[in-house]
Amino acid sequence: MSLRIYNTLTGKKEGFLPLRGKQVGLYACGVTVYDLCHIGHARSAIVFDVIYRYLRYRGYDVTFVRNFTDIDDKIIKRANEEGVDYSAIAEKYIEEFNIDMGGLGLEKPSFEPKATDHISGMIDLISILIEKEFAYRRDGDVFFSVERFKDYGKLSGRNLEEMQAGARVEIDEKKENPLDFALWKSSKPGEPFWKSPWGEGRPGWHIECSVMSQKYLGETLDIHGGGKDLIFPHHENEIAQSEAATGKPFARCWIHNGFVNINKEKMSKSLGNFLTIKEILRQWHPEVLRLFFLSHHYRSPVDYSEDSLLDAKTGLDRFYTTLKTIKEKIGIIPSTLTSEKPYSIPSPSRGEGEGGGVNLLEEARKTIETFQIRFEEAMDDDFNTAQALGYFYDLQTVLNSLLDLSRGQPTDQIRSLLDQGREQFRKMGWIVGLFREEPESYMDRQKKEGLKKLGLSEEEILKLIEERNTARKNKDWKKADDIRNDLLSKGIVLEDTPSVTLWKIK
RNA sequence: GGCGGCAUAGCCAAGUGGUAAGGCGACGGUCUGCAAAACCGUUAUUCACCGGUUCAAAUCCGGUUGCCGCCUCCA
């Protein structure tokens, strides 16, 4: 099996074949830094993070570029509102972006170029487009002529006539065709500007990506991506200007992720359902958000709600509980024991039926050993993380069965299987960015944050547990149950194990 | 108006020709003083609806209904 990716350009899943052997150039459109990032940005970032990780796992040497749009009308507007320089706004939100991405546990891209660092490259590219007569000047502005680029519309699957018929395009007297887009905009008094052959001004939005991607990755990219909303006009325009200038294909494969809705509504500032990454991370562990997103295919829309995040949290808690139990059972030192010939242990709760005597160990071994290949198959199929995650649940179930089988001391064989399973969690978990934390630390964090929310202290809980255990020793079940119910009503669940009583947040 | 997407159990969700993954929830069992956790089992003869192609369709084709996105800044 080899990697297949859905290409927006062709509308099909295609075998992935980089232009230069194992070298892969990956470009993802980043953000315009005029405000805090929201949960939609988080999804896009996580999707491309996983793609980046998986490609490297598959042995590709990936150069990953994600840009910052740090000059644009919205930034200028914001700067005017706050009475500061546009660059102060850009810097502030770049910093916030970095904090957010760090909080989400994302890998750093190879390069994170800023538009304003590449103005001269943009001027060069625009000059070429004028020279080749794909672009025209109007006063201090420069526009790209969509009519002169014959493939215009190939990415978004439309043609010029259709789009003009829709005619929801702002009429600009200066443009030859309403769909023409600005490569260079002359600056109004008081606006930031750069000098150019066409006068003082600033670049249009699309040109930066053409320039920066070319600079870091060459004229033809292996993969270019971003949110679905960027297909038109942004990516369409990037293709037009890049291919018009170089005469070469701009990107071989286009990947676009779907949107995030909130409670079934499109997220937008006007609806007031705009959730920032900071707000999410205040409430949820970053891996909860990841598990939630990656449980859906990256191209599908996904509906954010408290309930779905809670589902994801329940799942993640269980994973970490399993990992913690394994750690307690076999310690942290990887087992070097080789597995011996499997011996049959009658399954404790599966005694009847013709399947009696099913070799649970053999089943577990198979699940653990085939996990990686199944995981890879799922990821190879257009990064089907939902499927891949499904296999983690399967793996978890057999590991828990093994733990159940070895209530006392695990046999060497079980120990070895548990260790192998845990190793898969670590190794494949890296690709999806999950299970990165030490289980105890994860659990502790959950407890601490839970206690804070509930307004309880660990001391009083431990005191009540002790009191209850005394009652249990005296077989005072009434009192013991009262204490347990009391704690439960406060949101604390108790778990009696043979040795100690554990507690956790409900 | 144009273009595109989606519709799978109570909920979330994978599955694009070979007879419905997985998660959450619910229920029954094992374990337990009782619970909890974990495990085992049950929970869609069926994939919005109607036709068609095929030995075979959730998957392909045509139509109907409903929802959503893009066409304007947007991840």
- Give the domain CATH number at A429: 1.10.730
Nucleotide nearest to A394 (CA to C1'): B22
User: Is-cis flag, bond preceding A233, omega within 30?
Assistant: yes
Could you check: is the Cβ of residue A276 within 7 Å of any atom of nucleic acid strand B? no
- What is Dmax (Cα atoms) for chain A? 93
Q: How many domains does chain A have?
A: 3
Q: What is the pLDDT of residue A353?
A: 32
Identify the domain containing residue A227 by its residue range. Answer: 18-283
Q: For residue A121, what is the domain's CATH number?
A: 3.40.50.620
Q: Are residues A214 and A326 in the same domain?
A: no
What residue has token string 């913690």? A324
Q: How confident is the model at residue A171 (pLDDT cuts 50, 70, 90)?
A: low
Could you check: is the Cβ of residue A280 within 7 Å of any atom of nucleic acid strand B? no
- Final residue of a structural domain among A236, A268, A283: A283
DSSP assignment of A185-211? EEPPTTS--B--TT-SEEE-TTHHHHH
User: Which three-class secondary structure state does DSSP give residue A409?
Assistant: coil
Q: What is the pLDDT of residue A231?
A: 94
pTM (2 d.p.): 0.94
How far in angstroms lies nucleotide B44's C1' from the CA of residue A362?
A: 31
* Residue A309 covered by a domain: no
Q: Are residues A141 and A36 in the same domain?
A: yes
Could you check: is the Cβ of residue A29 within 7 Å of any atom of nucleic acid strand B? yes
* Residue A1 covered by a domain: no
How far is Cα A86 from Cα A76, in angstroms, rounded to an integer? 5
* Residue A194 covered by a domain: yes
Q: Are residues A181 and A98 in the same domain?
A: yes
- Final residue of a structural domain among A437, A469, A486: A437
Q: Which of residues 169-198 of A touch strand B (CB under 7 A)?
A: 169-170, 179
Q: Which of residues 9-28 of A touch strand B (CB under 7 A)?
A: 11
Cα torsion A453, A454, A455, A459: sign: negative
Could you check: is the Cβ of residue A306 within 7 Å of any atom of nucleic acid strand B? no
Q: What is the pLDDT of residue A346?
A: 34
Mean pLDDT of A331-347: 43
Q: Which of residues 465-484 of A touch strand B (CB under 7 A)?
A: 472, 477, 480-481, 484
Q: How confident is the model at residue A355 (pLDDT cuts 50, 70, 90)?
A: very low
How far in angstroms lies nucleotide B31's C1' from the CA of residue A310?
A: 28
Q: What is the pLDDT of residue A409?
A: 80
Q: How confident is the model at residue A264 (pLDDT cuts 50, 70, 90)?
A: confident
* Residue A467 covered by a domain: yes
Nucleotide nearest to A348 (CA to C1'): B30
Q: Are residues A431 and A465 in the same domain?
A: no
* Residue A169 covered by a domain: yes
How far in angstroms lies nucleotide B11's C1' from the CA of residue A308?
A: 9
pLDDT tens for A152-168 read 999 998 888 877 765 55
Any alpha helices (H) in A341-438, and if so which ranges?
360-380, 385-405, 412-432
User: Which three-class secondary structure state does DSSP give residue A438?
Assistant: coil
Residue A137: which H helix or E strand, with range? strand A135-138
Nucleotide nearest to A351 (CA to C1'): B40
Q: What is the pLDDT of residue A382?
A: 95
Nucleotides of B under 7 A from a protein CB: 1-6, 11-16, 21-25, 29-30, 32-41, 68-75
Q: Are residues A46 and A112 in the same domain?
A: yes
Q: Which of residues 229-248 of A touch strand B (CB under 7 A)?
A: 229-234
Q: What is the pLDDT of residue A189?
A: 92
% of chain A residues with pLDDT over 70: 93
Q: Are residues A137 and A198 in the same domain?
A: yes
* Residue A90 covered by a domain: yes
Q: Which of residues 310-339 of A touch strand B (CB under 7 A)?
A: 311, 314-315, 318, 321-322
Could you check: is the Cβ of residue A35 within 7 Å of any atom of nucleic acid strand B? no
DSSP A150: T
pLDDT tens for A214-256 read 999 999 999 999 999 999 999 999 999 999 999 999 999 999 9
DSSP A161: H
Q: Which of residues 70-129 of A touch strand B (CB under 7 A)?
A: 74
Q: Which of residues 372-431 of A touch strand B (CB under 7 A)?
A: 381-382, 384, 386-387, 389-390, 393-394, 396-398, 400-401, 403-404
Q: Are residues A348 and A476 in the same domain?
A: no
Distances (CA, A) of A314 to A233, A307, A385: 40, 10, 18
DSSP A23: E
Neighbours of A294 (CB within 10 A): 24
Q: How confident is the model at residue A1 (pLDDT cuts 50, 70, 90)?
A: low
The token pair that represents A454 in the structure block: 């509930």
Could you check: is the Cβ of residue A368 within 7 Å of any atom of nucleic acid strand B? no
Q: Are residues A347 and A419 in the same domain?
A: yes
Q: What is the pLDDT of residue A429?
A: 98
Q: Are residues A266 and A348 in the same domain?
A: no
Candidates A42, A456, A13; CA nearest to A260 is: A42
Q: Is the pLDDT of residue A504 over 60?
A: yes
How far in angstroms lies nucleotide B4's C1' from the CA of residue A158?
A: 10
Mean pLDDT of A468-493: 94
Nucleotide nearest to A488 (CA to C1'): B36
Q: Are residues A105 and A156 in the same domain?
A: yes
Q: What is the pLDDT of residue A324?
A: 95
Q: What is the pLDDT of residue A347?
A: 37
Give all strands of the β-sheet with A141-144 in edge-to-edge order. A135-138, A141-144, A181-186, A201-203
Q: What is the pLDDT of residue A164?
A: 72
* Residue A306 covered by a domain: no
How far in angstroms lies nucleotide B67's C1' from the CA of residue A52?
A: 33
Residue A334 CA from chain centroid, whole number: 30
How far is Cα A252 from Cα A272, in angstroms, rounded to an integer? 38
Q: What is the pLDDT of residue A272?
A: 74
Q: Is the pLDDT of residue A174 over 90?
A: no
Mean pLDDT of A291-296: 97
Could you check: is the Cβ of residue A498 within 7 Å of any atom of nucleic acid strand B? no
Could you check: is the Cβ of residue A160 within 7 Å of any atom of nucleic acid strand B? no
The answer to whether A386 and A333 are in contact (CB under 8 A) is no
* Residue A489 covered by a domain: yes
Q: Are residues A333 and A390 in the same domain?
A: yes
Q: Are residues A375 and A276 in the same domain?
A: no
User: Which three-class secondary structure state does DSSP give residue A362?
Assistant: helix
